[in-house]
Amino acid sequence: MKMLFILAWRNLWRNKRRTLITASSVFFAVILALVAESMTKGSHEAMISNMVKLSTGYLQLQDSLYEDEPSVDHAFMYDDTLKQIIRQTSGIAYVVPRFESFMLAATEKSTRPVMLRGVDFEAENRLNDMGHKLLEGTSLEAGDQAVLLADGLAERLKMDVGDSIILVGQGFRGMSAAGIYPVKGIMKISLPRLNDQLIFMPLAATQQLFGAEERLTALLITPEEKEQTDLLAQQLRDQLDPKWFKVLTWKQMMPTLLQSLELDRASGMMIIYMLYLVVGFGILGTVLTMMLERQREFGILLSVGMKRSQLALITFVETVFISMIGVAAGLVGGFPVILYMHHHPIRFGEEMEAMFETYGMEAVMPFALDLQVFSSQAVVVLLITLVIGLYPVLKVFRMNILKAARN
Amino acid sequence: MAVIETIGLSKIYNETIVPVKALNEVNLAFEQGEFTSIVGPSGSGKTTLLNMLGGLDKPSSGSILINQTDITKLKERQLIDYRLRHIGFVFQSYNLIPVLTAVENVSFIMLLQKQPRKAIDQRAREILEQVGLGDRLNARPAQLSGGQQQRVAVARALASRPDFVLADEPTANLDTQSAFNLLDIMEKLNRDENITLIFSTHDQRVIERARRVITLVDGAVASDENHGS
């Protein structure tokens, strides 16, 4: 067996140039695929992270009826029992409580529907660093009876720091919710949809306004590992009574984002597959030439007593060796490129920067440094090679020894 | 008793289109240790006969008995094993494995036979010494002359001590001196190791050395002469 492997290895270097050209094509394909895959994955991760932080969180705990009918009447009691369950569930980094509802906001001159979001600022800051987006005024303290306006909304209502805003809406279980609050600050919200309608208020003041003390419309849960989101959601579902609670992941709450990412990924994969197709044909070309050139040699080897299975193994191993050289070189060569790009992502110019920021994203193209990206490329190329490697195997098993030897 | 025996051996090519009778009712017997030349003009059936004896081709009719086993009835897997264990081949174009050294080429058949490693090394070196290439053990075929390559091929064929060696025009590509050297070596190995040698050849130098000369004409045995030792 050792001799067969030695033979396969030495055969590779009989035509060094051809082997190197074939291995180089695999090498470049692996590097290109690595860069493309890492770039796609990196940008998707950044997009998900931004959307999740600014919008839904990775996981949400809600009242079982809230998703279908998002009303304050379906706010749930965040009591000690629930807090205990959350505390005892492993894998949770932190939680962000929210109480939010649509209301009518009025000033002396205009009225607009708004989204009032009652938040625990300390927890909210951990999730999305919202304090950094304060444009004017000061942030809110936990005990404040005041609001922060999104700058888009402030502009529409023509309000400034120090003005007062009237909020009117329906409170918990038929109560009316109404109050007048001073505007303590104006914030920049990266998502345009929210920037035109969002008002922040301390959680306690919001619960008081709605007459829903200790109640939340949503508890955002951040897992310690993002990859564990689905597992954590299932753990929580197992512990909570589905009659009263529902645990939703960001994928369930933002299906359109998921679909658009999958579409983008699919188009990226198409390009990568085409790249692999080209490489596959390159390897196949080498294998075909090798088979043609060595017909006589194969015939002789079979004549003198080599089994077809042994000869097939040699040709198969040769194909795999070429591919492995290319893949190994591609992974070794690709790693420093990805590592560098991960730490020094591509930065876009000012125009692009403005566009990215509109969507709450930093204007960079981050690269994912993920072992899975590397392993998946290696596996795909090796699979292609294994399929191509079957060709010489079939040829050897069908070979007419005499014809081959006379070739 | 004959080691090899052909009984009514015939081979017809293109049986369905224009039949060409390459061998016609050939009956031959070869004793252990014989040194035989099969001669005849081109197309007389020399190579076809050798291919049949080597189990590389199937006859249209007749049988080939090797040590009383009819190899025409063996399945391919059994034939491969039969070739590996009982026959040595020497080809006109040497056909060494270009990526292996001389000693590795000679060891190759023995490795396929799964002989013990130590015995293989010892035998490969010993036989390369006998063919006068003790100093070229690690040379690759491309680093050897035609004569040297053919000597390695002979060493490869004889190393595993086969029952008989089939040599198809082994001296055709060699100059006179190399051809004589090769024949000396083969003759000595034939004598020392009692291996049956069957040559197909046009080469008068080989014919003169052979103790038995079989002449084929149009696929049939025209003469079968013993020249003595």
Q: Coil, helix or strand for B86?
A: helix
**If you write DSSP's letter for every residue of A170-234 in order, what string do you get?**
E-GGG-EEEEEEEEEEEE--SSHHHHTTEEEEEHHHHHHHHT-TTEESEEEEEESSGGGHHHHHH
Q: Coil, helix or strand for B21?
A: strand
Determine contact: B115 vs chain A, CB below 8 A: no
Q: CB–CB of A175/A211 below 8 Å?
A: yes
pLDDT for residue A98: 94
Q: Where are the alpha helices (DSSP H) in A249-307?
A: 250-253, 255-293, 295-303
pLDDT for residue B174: 78
Q: Which of A13-22, A192-201, B12-21, B200-209 has the lowest mean pLDDT?
A: B12-21
Answer yes or no: do A14 and B99 touch at CB < 8 A: yes
Residue of B nearest to A9 (CA): B99
Answer yes or no: do B95 and A305 touch at CB < 8 A: no
Q: Given B51, B81, B95, which is nearest A300 (Cβ)?
A: B95
Whether the predicted model's global pTM rises above the 0.80 cut: no
C-alpha distance across the termini of chain A, in Å: 27
Q: Tell me the C-alpha to C-alpha distance, in Å, between residue A165 and each of A107, A149, B100.
A: 6, 10, 91
Residue recorded with tokens 């009514």: B8
Q: Coil, helix or strand for A169?
A: strand
**Pick from B109, B55, B64, B107: nearest CA to B83:** B55
Determine contact: B191 vs chain A, CB below 8 A: no
pLDDT for residue A359: 62
Give the whole-angstrom CA distance, residue A239 versus residue A247.
Answer: 11
pLDDT for residue A407: 65
Percent of residues, chain B, with pLDDT higher than 90: 30
Question: So where are chain A's domains?
Answer: 2-51+257-406, 56-253
pLDDT for residue B65: 92
pLDDT for residue A306: 87
pLDDT for residue A358: 63
pLDDT for residue A276: 84
Q: Could you tell me which residues of chain A have a Cβ less than 8 Å from any Cβ in chain B?
A: 3, 7, 10-11, 13-14, 296-297, 300-308, 310, 401-402, 405
Q: Tell me the C-alpha to C-alpha distance, in Å, between residue B183 and each of A113, B130, B168, B173, B206.
A: 108, 13, 13, 13, 7
pLDDT for residue B229: 52
pLDDT of B83 strictly over 90: no
Chain A residues within an 8 Å CB radius of B104: 3
Q: How confident is the model at residue B15 (pLDDT cuts 50, 70, 90)?
A: low
Residues of chain A with pLDDT under 50: none
Give the whole-angstrom CA distance, residue A160 versus residue A146.
Answer: 13
Q: Given B56, B84, B104, which is nearest A401 (Cβ)?
A: B56
Chain B residues within an 8 Å CB radius of A13: 99
Q: Coil, helix or strand for A33?
A: helix
Determine contact: B20 vs chain A, CB below 8 A: no
Answer yes or no: do B109 and A304 touch at CB < 8 A: yes
Q: Angle, nearest 10°, between helix axes A255-293 and A295-303?
A: 70
DSSP annotation of A56 reads I
Q: Coil, helix or strand for A143?
A: coil
pLDDT for residue B138: 92
For residue range B117-176, what is the model confidence (pLDDT) as tens digits?
999 999 999 889 888 888 999 999 999 988 899 889 988 988 888 888 999 888 887 788
